[in-house]
Amino acid sequence: MFAAKLVNWKGNFRKEANRGLTPLGKEAIVWLANAGILTDITHMSDQSRKDAIAWMEENQIPPLSTHDGFKPIQNHPRGMEEEDVLRIYQ
């Protein structure tokens, strides 16, 4: 739990805004899928989430969002947009 928070905290100090999913992130999604583990895209930035969903669609990996907010109901920076919800659950 601490390591996960440390990794996420590290991203807060990056200068690039909305940089999206990195090559390492794409590699991690594939590695997790090969291990039989679903990747939870909850609380990702908009660009990272869009990149992750596109990457997962391209590689036929099912995305998972367990407890995200929904921007049309409450406009929060990390909430999901309607188009993302539709792409996940189609």
Q: Cα(81)–Cα(77) distance, rounded to whole angstroms? A: 10
Q: What is the phi/psi pair of residue 80, to 5°?
A: -90, 140
Q: What is the pTM of this model?
A: 0.74
Q: Enter the tokens of residue 27.
A: 């590699």
Summarize pLDDT for 7-44 with one digit per residue, the tens. 455 555 555 566 899 999 999 999 999 999 999 998 88
Summarize pLDDT for 29-85 with one digit per residue, the tens. 999 999 999 999 988 888 999 999 999 999 999 999 988 888 889 888 778 888 988
